[in-house]
A and B are shown apart, each in its own frame.
Chain A
């Protein structure tokens, strides 16, 4: 099962490495959002180091928007080229398909996260300093639970006509409490250097695992035909 999942992930990654469609558009979106924040909030003079409380909202707004855009195209290659049946006919379990897609999405989004972090550091003159490792940990865990639920919902919305807007409207209510608020709260705590982030990390990990379980139970039903 794991091996099949890795092969499916590898397929997505090699397609991406050849076309570079998703990565380019997602990173460009991230750049546009960061630049909008930069000039809308500060104009030309101020720096984020004077307003550290803004790091968390800026960082996560960008990651969530970019992430949703990345998820939208998660199944679009198969859908547009009518390879969906081919994917479903693979001699493997549906859960392996989910896991493979999830891993590929996770990898994409981690790259986008890192680039976004570089943008934040570069454009806002923000220096994470000693908190860098913890910050990275929170970003990775937040991305993991986001992608775990996001891939499941993205699978749900393949068949719908208005697929792209649907993914957002179906995903956001499910992750507001469980990913958005804990991730932003934990990041705020790290940036301001106060407080214990373990409760938030527990929620993120717990919801990520719950999403994997739900996917195990439901992805077969979702992808039945």
Chain B
């Protein structure tokens, strides 16, 4: 018993230290441009990915010239190549592309044929570089929630296969803690989107949508458990639901890599890379959040064990009467 308390204490201490170090590192050490944007996200001259935010002058084929930067929150949902038809060829100056998306407020939703011209005065980069530092908390939170839901999957499978209360306790605890991290990821992402894209949420974006579904699934998981009798069929049902629900994790992770999405891809992608300093701070954040997860998970399982113990005592007392 004492040993467990000691482990809890050390975990909590480490978590606090790492979180503080991460905050300081994100604020003072990490570069203001956390990602090498010219290769990661947005179009410059030789961009070859699917996502594009054009900086510079484009020309409507009907003849009107307009600068996309003049349009607030221009979002390009789909880009296909009119000239070459070859996705690997990339966009070069003067390439004609079809841009399907919202060019608010002037153009409306329509497929437009536009020409991209290079604008040397317009540097590549983020609209709101400082708020991009939320990246060092958003990504670790999302990763930790994936880890937590992975633990739910493993523990649920073990519970169905072998039985045993501890698996159920671990699955429940991990799901609840994971839901907290998932909420942090969703909310921090929405705040960043407001600063960078100009709005909180985009329902057309598969990444955002699939993560929202993942969030709903584990809200449902926790709701199934809430107020449920602990030793009836609920743990088994929850285990099945946890296994089914985990299917949303790979969908959420891969969605922005499979389908066109505005969500930046940094890790495990061919789209770009982190600078060494940013990568170091990101790793620090992942370690810090994993420690926070471990601490909360350990405390949550302790609470659940006490609940089960108290229910056992209650039953004994009732039997004695």
Contacts and interface: CB of A to CB of B under 8 A. Distances in A.
A159 B240 CA distance: 14
A148 B160 CA distance: 23
A221 B240 CA distance: 9
Interface residues of A, number: 22
Contacts of A214: 244
A29 interface: no
Nearest to B245: A173
Contact of A173 (B220, B224, B226): B220
B305 to A, nearest CB: 22
B223 A159 contact: no
Given A160-B228, A224-B233, A174 B244 contact: yes
A166 B232 CA distance: 17
A176 interface: yes
B97 interface: no
Given A159-B234, A161-B228, A176-B213, A169 B219 contact: yes
Contact of B240 (A156, A161, A166, A176): A156
Interface residues of B, number: 23
Contact of A177 (B213, B224, B228): B213
A201 to B, nearest CB: 21
Nearest to B227: A161
Interface in B235-291: 236-237, 240-241, 244-245, 248
Most chain A CB within 10 A, of B210, B228, B240, B248, is at: B240
B233 A162 contact: no
A157 B227 CA distance: 13
Given A170-B241, A173-B217, A214-B244, A224 B227 contact: no
Interface string A151-165: 000001101111001
Given A176-B213, A221-B160, A225-B232, A162 B241 contact: no
B223 A162 contact: yes
Nearest to B236: A221
A161 B225 CA distance: 10
Contacts of B71: none
A218 interface: yes
A224 B233 CA distance: 7
A222 B228 contact: no
A172 interface: yes
B230 to A, nearest CB: 11
Closest 5 CB pairs of A and B: A173-B216, A170-B220, A173-B217, A156-B237, A169-B220
